Amino acid sequence: MNIIQTIAIGLSLAVLVNCATANGARLVPIRSLAKGVFSGIRDAKQEIVRNADDWEKLWKQHAVSAGAAEKVPEVDFAKEMVVAATMGTRRTGGYSIEIVSVEAGEKTLKISVRKRSPPPGALTVQALTAPFHFVAVPRNDLKPEFVEEIAGEKK
C-alpha cells in the first residue's frame, strides 16, 4: 500500500509540474540595478532598454533627482538588457514599484510589476516622490508584455 501511495503522489506531482509549465514559459533571472523612491523620471513608464546609449540617456533623466550622483550601473548589452519601471511623480511617500518576475514565453516576455500605494488614512512623508526599479535580464528579442500587480492582485 505504501508503494501505491508513493507512486500516486509522484504521478500527481509530475502532472502538476507539467501543467504549470504547459505554456512553455520559463522564469528568467533578474539582476536589480537600482530601486528607490526619488527618481528624476516624472512620468510613469515601463520600457525595455537594449543598448548603452539609451541606457545612459534614461539614467541621466533618472539621476536629475536630488542626491542621485550615482554612477550608471554597468550592463553588458551584448548579453543583457534593462527593464525599467517607474510610477511617475507622487504627492506623498508610501508608494513603491518593483519588477517581481520575468517569464520568457514563445513570443512574449511577461514582466510582472508590483505597485504599492499607502492605505487610506496612512501617515506618509509629505514630499514628492517618484518610485522606480531598474533590472537587468538576459538579452532577447521577445515582445515585452507588462503585467501589473496592485497590492497583491494581478491586473
Q: Is residue 4 part of a domain?
A: no
| Structural domain includes residue 89 | yes
Number of domains in the chain: 1
User: What is the pTM for the complete model shown?
Assistant: 0.81
44 found inside a domain: yes
Domain presence at residue 105:
yes
What backbone phi and psi angles, to 5 degrees, belong to 55? -65, -45
Q: What is the CB neighbour count within 10 angstroms for residue 132?
A: 24
The whole-number pLDDT of residue 70 equals 76
Please give the single-letter amino acid code of residue 86: T
Kindly state whether residue 5 falls inside one of the protein's structural domains: no
- Supply the range of the domain harboring residue 116: 25-154
Residue 152 reports pLDDT greater than 70: no
**pLDDT tens digit sequence for 25-50:** 899 999 999 999 999 999 999 999 99
Pinpoint the alpha helices (H) of 22-121: 52-62
Average pLDDT of 137-149? 96
Nearest to 49 by CA among 147, 109, 139: 139
- What pLDDT, on a 0 to 100 scale, did the predictor assign at position 56? 95
Q: What is the pLDDT of residues 98-130, one digit of tens each?
A: 999 999 999 999 999 999 999 999 999 999 999
Residue 1 within a domain: no
In a domain? residue 56: yes
Residue pLDDT, tens place only, 47-89? 999 999 999 999 999 998 655 567 899 999 999 999 999 999 9
Q: What is the pLDDT of residue 90?
A: 96
Distances (CA, A) of 47 to 1, 24, 39, 61, 99: 55, 23, 15, 14, 12
